[in-house]
Amino acid sequence: MGAVFRSGRLLEVIFPALCPACDGELGGARVGLCEGCVGQLLPLAGPGCPSCGRPVSGMEEFCLDCLESPGPGDRGLVWGEYQGVLRRALLALKHGGHDELAPLLADLLSAALSTCSWISKVDIVTAVPSHPIHRIRRGYSAAELLAQEVAKRLNMKYSPILRRRGLRRQALRSRSERLSLGSKDFVLRREARVKGFNILLIDDVLTTGATMRRVVGLLRRADSGKIFTAVLAWSAPSGSWG
Ligand SMILES: [Zn+2]
Ligand SMILES: [Zn+2]
């Protein structure tokens, strides 16, 4: 009887695996999202700004923000809008411990990246690092998992070249010091080599773009080559880079 209870089959009957996006039963040995939810994962319908990847309207080639000042990287891609199933899947990955969703979401991003004219120029794939407290809470970083899976699919080198400063170091500073810290909340890892390398920087969600700009600024100061950005979901319907 003990062997039966230990069997995965019986556990499946008692606790069927559920789709993290709709709570429906996944069924069989399926991992990730249910078929219905996968069908609702849709990329941006129209063209994206070549500089930042956000959708552009009308006949504009670049978005208004990138026309005013250059985008964060040299070229950028945004896969979809942060809503519906994509939003729920990302929340499950980022906060629900559903790291099994990373390969599925990386499939989407890497398929889109493989059609970009610049993708062959990339030397290193890396991620915008999440705050250490999130990593401790979840045990992983959603953006790093995505970046690793994307690199695997594109046969490219993944390297964790960036680090985000932790709470302890920040907590030792006064409020005014913390505010003036600005772009210094990200640092290059000691062993990182970026000089002259073209870098693909991956993040899960783009909100104002301020974080991406800070990281890109750091890489530029370290004399990196071209910087490309790829984000799974864009969340601001009409905001600007903050
Ligand atoms: Zn579902
Ligand atoms: Zn743009």
Q: Residue 55: its pLDDT value, please?
A: 87
Q: Residue 165: its pLDDT value, please?
A: 81
Token pair for residue 75? 């070229």
CA 50 to ligand 2 centroid distance, Å: 7
- Our separate counts of H helices and E strands in the chain read 11, 7
Do residues 228 and 215 touch, judged by C-beta distance below 8 A?
no
Q: Measured between alpha carbons, how far is 140 from 130 in angstroms, rounded to an integer?
A: 9
Q: Measured between alpha carbons, how far is 110 from 147 in angstroms, rounded to an integer?
A: 9
Q: Residue 36: its pLDDT value, please?
A: 94
> Which residues line ion ligand 2, judged by CB < 5 Å?
49, 51-52, 63, 66, 71
Q: Residue 179: its pLDDT value, please?
A: 46
| Cα separations in angstroms, 105 against 36, 145, 147 | 15, 10, 10
CA 29 to ligand 1 centroid distance, Å: 14
> Which residues line ion ligand 1, judged by CB < 5 Å?
19, 21-22, 24, 34, 37
CA 73 to ligand 2 centroid distance, Å: 10
Q: Residue 87: its pLDDT value, please?
A: 96
Q: Residue 175: its pLDDT value, please?
A: 52
Chunk the chain into consecutive blocks of 10 residues (it has 242) and report each block's average pLDDT, rounded to whole numbers: 51 75 87 94 90 84 82 90 96 93 97 96 95 77 96 97 72 50 75 94 89 90 96 74 38
Closest-lying ligand to the alpha carbon of 241? 2
Token pair for residue 104? 């599925």
Structural domains in the chain plus CATH codes: 1-40 (no CATH), 48-234 (3.40.50.2020)
Nearest to 159 by CA among 206, 131, 193: 193
Closest-lying ligand to the alpha carbon of 38? 1
Please tell me what DSSP assigns to residue 223.
T
Q: Residue 228: its pLDDT value, please?
A: 97
Q: Residue 8: its pLDDT value, please?
A: 56
Do residues 230 and 200 touch, judged by C-beta distance below 8 A?
yes
Closest-lying ligand to the alpha carbon of 34? 1
CA 180 to ligand 2 centroid distance, Å: 27
List phi, psi (to 5°) of 193.
Answer: -120, 110
Q: Measured between alpha carbons, how far is 147 from 153 in angstroms, rounded to an integer?
A: 10
List phi, psi (to 5°) of 119.
Answer: -60, -30
Q: Residue 207: its pLDDT value, please?
A: 82
Task: Please count the CA atoms within 13 angstroms of the CA of 4 that sit on its side-chain side.
Answer: 3
Token pair for residue 231? 């984000």
CA 108 to ligand 1 centroid distance, Å: 17
Closest-lying ligand to the alpha carbon of 234? 2
